[in-house]
Structure 1
Amino acid sequence: MGQIERYIMRNAAVAFVACLVALTLVIWVTQILRELDLVTGKGQTFAIFLTVTMLSLPALITIIAPVALFIATLYALNKLNGDSELIVMSAAGMAPARLLRPFAAIMLVVSIVVAAMTIHLMPASFAALRDLITQIRADFVATIVKEGQFTTLESGLTFHFRQRSGDALLGIFMQDRRDPERTTIYLAERGQTVDVDGQSYLILEKGSVQRQEPNSRDSAIVTFERYAIDLSSFGQDGGEIVYKPRERSTMELLFPDKEENYYKMQEGRFRAELHERFAAPLYAIAFTLIAFAALGEPRTTRQGRGSAMAAALIAVVLVRIAGFAASSALVRTPAAVVGVYGAPILGSLGALFLIFGGHGVKRRISRLADAAAAQLAAFLPRVRRA
């Protein structure tokens, strides 16, 4: 790679890193604000709060990285054109393939990183997050519930105790309405959490369990002297952690347990998650090529670059929306897998056609974009006057 290519690569790489960091921080802050309830409402330490938000970063980066690369490519090409460097390179006989080479190198590196994150790191982080949330829920007596307050542990699950007496809780009330077909109420004079073989249990003493069945006016009441509740079952089915498709490794998606009840109910989501992981790196390629197709040719000061950028942005949005739509359709029908891979591949092929052979088509698109921009510019003053 020559000195010119290294110069272009350095500008594009710096712009990419800056965009990636800025966009990630902005979106990460929104995640932090959303999870702030862990500290303020659920009594967790700042370390737990920071761990939860950090575990969401791989998923954010896999989505943000292609967008950051698209913005960086536009910025680098626009800067080269603004400084007349593209015109000089073109006049010196620099072919489009040579100009594309540094962007292609960055594009391949980003694609490989995104592939590694979507195939391995992202599901591992989601699984770790699920384990951590389960641990937080299991430790709710020590960290979440407050004396004399009704606390909603999750949707449909409410806990209350009158007061503490050492390590014990007195006057316990717990209502479980997570199952819409049945409401269960636990009442106990006394309760205490214990750990057995790494599992947390709430041991209730001298109380009753009331179950209200649907279409029944009477409740079934069972009294007890001692009753144990597995705290790790909160938010889970059958007392075990059931990992969602995005929380499972790629090997588990490739070779799922077809006898598992959850898989039978969510087979479409397993299929969509698997193909979405494999298709994710293709968007870094498609977005880079679209940006290069829009601004890869030198333009004079009279030729506006804004319309070309707008056209590239619209193309990127359309490609990503098509990918999301195909992924959603894949949950219902396996035939939609064509669209999951087709959206980024067609976007890449269309951009390559414009870069290397579709100069006439590109000029017509540019004229249409310029005309649309001119009409919009003429329309806005009329709107302001109105």
Structure 2
Amino acid sequence: MIVFRYLSREVLVTLSAVSAVLLVIIMSGRFIKYLAQAAQGLLDPGVLLMIMGFRMPGFLQLILPLGLFLGILLAYGRLYLESEMSVLSAAGMSPQRLLAYTLAPALLVALLVAWLSLLLAPQGVARVEQILNSQEALTEFDTLVPGRFQSMRGGTRVTYTERLSEDRSELGGVFISEQQLASDGKEPRAIALLVAEKGRQEIQADGSRYLILENGYRYDGNPGEADYRAIQYDRYGVLLPKPEVGAEVGEREALPTAALLDSDDLRHRAELQWRLSIPLLVFVVTVLAVPLARVNPRQGRFLKLLPAILLYMAYLALLIAMRGQLEKGRLPPALGLWWVHGLFLAIGLVLLYWEPLRLKWAARRVGKEALHGPA
């Protein structure tokens, strides 16, 4: 029991450290993407933390299996390097018993991943979709930030305001630049500049929103040419475009697991098998990691780390590829993704039993040579 607690603690501590680092890296990259959209006026800055929070279960369900895989490799690799595993082996710790001990913390991780994959991640995706859909009701006026140039419509429109009232109803010191495209819709034809002392939002009966500018000028002309037109106005209306926020995920990822169970759609079956595959992935990578963590103290603990990561990437890539084939109907649902797990489970069992069998055969050969002499 003492050995079991010791091994479990080593694996879980290393798993936590590796998973935390991976989570920070992934969430930082995704947060930068959302932050860039907020800077362009595509997202309300106030919803960024909510989006990240709802997306976290989806990140964790893929990070935890990888964290467990690397945790076993690093933790057991250190034990082999410091000859602790040699001592345990001399005390009767077989590879099969080591695997059995390792499957206990793996079971905890698998239960957590199953909870994330089957319940929390779909709920989080659904909430993210609701937030992104709510952004479609916003206009450029709602996402303006004072003192910042904000790009809209793929960069063809830039808006700036010097001041903005607390209730976001009045603007001061407004500047708008908009490229007018040619008839083919590709090449810019001219640029229209609007400047005004102040502005306010006005909602029409059909729901369209306009920015009403007061006391300003409009300049129309081609870049690099002196021929331009200037118009002074007392009141001018500008149609406010809606932020174009792309869909974060597909509709299937947001469906509850119970809805997938009752569906006969191939895409829904593929999504269901994918959600079930992630907890199963935890057990298979545990069987793979235990023999791969076995290293010679003279070779160092990182010798097998790169081949092990490549094997894990091949496993995950094959699952994703077969998921696509299942969605397209090129793979029978009964076969689905299960054969991929069976293949890598067989690889793990071969790796687990190969080294003890090789050592046993070598010992027999040495014994025969000592008894009968070399052939």
Paired position in structure 2 for 1:312 = 308
Asked if residue 281 in structure 1 is aligned to residue 287 in structure 2, the reply is no
The CA distance in 2 between the partners of 1:236 and 1:38, in whole Å, is: 10
Cα contact 2:322–2:336 (8 A) shared by 1: yes
Structure 2 matches for 1:281-300, cutoff 5 A?
A: 281-296=279-294, 300=296
The CA distance in 2 between the partners of 1:326 and 1:306, in whole Å, is: 31
Secondary structure in 2 matching 1:68: helix
Cα contact 1:5–1:102 (8 A) shared by 2: yes
Paired position in structure 2 for 1:71 = 70
Structure 1 residue 191 displacement after superposition: 7.3
Give the TM-score normalised by the residue count of structure 2: 0.67
Structure 1 residue 91 displacement after superposition: 0.9
Cα contact 2:261–2:272 (8 A) shared by 1: yes
The CA distance in 2 between the partners of 1:161 and 1:22, in whole Å, is: 38
Cα contact 1:290–1:315 (8 A) shared by 2: no
Structure 2 matches for 1:227-306, cutoff 5 A?
A: 244-256=251-263, 267-296=265-294, 300-302=296-298, 306=302
Structure 1 residue 47 displacement after superposition: 3.7
Paired position in structure 2 for 1:263 = none
Secondary structure in 2 matching 1:74: helix
Cα contact 1:107–1:284 (8 A) shared by 2: yes
The CA distance in 2 between the partners of 1:152 and 1:328, in whole Å, is: 34
Cα deviation digits, residues 92-118 of structure 1 (max 9, x gap): 112223222332111111111111111
Cα contact 2:54–2:128 (8 A) shared by 1: yes
Paired position in structure 2 for 1:178 = none
Structure 1 residue 80 displacement after superposition: 0.9
Q: 2:341 aligns with which of 321, 344, 348?
A: 344
Cα contact 1:327–1:340 (8 A) shared by 2: yes
Structure 1 residue 311 displacement after superposition: 3.3
Cα contact 1:15–1:76 (8 A) shared by 2: yes
Structure 1 residue 243 displacement after superposition: 6.6
Structure 2 matches for 1:129-148, cutoff 5 A?
A: 129-144=128-143
- Closer/same/farther in 2, CA of residues 339 and 358 from structure 1, 3 Å limit: farther
Secondary structure in 1 matching 2:60: helix
The CA distance in 1 between the partners of 2:155 and 2:359, in whole Å, is: 57
Cα deviation digits, residues 179-201 of structure 1 (max 9, x gap): xxxxxxxxxxx97348x9xxx94
Paired position in structure 2 for 1:353 = 350
Paired position in structure 2 for 1:213 = none
Cα contact 2:113–2:278 (8 A) shared by 1: yes
Structure 1 residue 274 displacement after superposition: 2.0
Structure 1 residue 145 displacement after superposition: 5.9
Cα deviation digits, residues 68-105 of structure 1 (max 9, x gap): 11110011111111221110111111222322233211
Structure 2, unmatched stretches of 5+, are 172-177, 179-199, 211-238, 362-375
Structure 1 residue 46 displacement after superposition: 4.5
Paired position in structure 2 for 1:152 = 152
- Closer/same/farther in 2, CA of residues 74 and 234 from structure 1, 3 Å limit: closer
- Closer/same/farther in 2, CA of residues 161 and 86 from structure 1, 3 Å limit: closer
Size of the aligned set, in residue pairs, is 312
Structure 2 matches for 1:1-386, cutoff 5 A?
A: 2-42=1-41, 46-144=45-143, 152=152, 192-193=202-203, 201-202=207-208, 244-256=251-263, 267-296=265-294, 300-302=296-298, 306-333=302-329, 335=331, 337=333, 338=335, 340-356=337-353, 359-360=356-357
The CA distance in 2 between the partners of 1:308 and 1:362, in whole Å, is: 19
Structure 1 residue 26 displacement after superposition: 0.9
The CA distance in 2 between the partners of 1:325 and 1:309, in whole Å, is: 24
Structure 1 residue 64 displacement after superposition: 1.1
The CA distance in 2 between the partners of 1:324 and 1:243, in whole Å, is: 15
Cα contact 1:9–1:102 (8 A) shared by 2: yes
Secondary structure in 2 matching 1:192: strand
Which residue identity does 1:129 align to in structure 2?
Answer: V
Secondary structure in 2 matching 1:87: helix
Secondary structure in 2 matching 1:56: helix
- Closer/same/farther in 2, CA of residues 313 and 203 from structure 1, 3 Å limit: closer
Q: Identity percentage over the alignment?
A: 22
- The structure with the larger Rg is 2
Structure 1 residue 39 displacement after superposition: 3.3
Cα root mean square deviation, aligned: 4.6
- Closer/same/farther in 2, CA of residues 283 and 158 from structure 1, 3 Å limit: farther
The CA distance in 1 between the partners of 2:316 and 2:310, in whole Å, is: 10
The CA distance in 1 between the partners of 2:159 and 2:19, in whole Å, is: 45
The CA distance in 1 between the partners of 2:40 and 2:246, in whole Å, is: 21
Secondary structure in 2 matching 1:138: coil
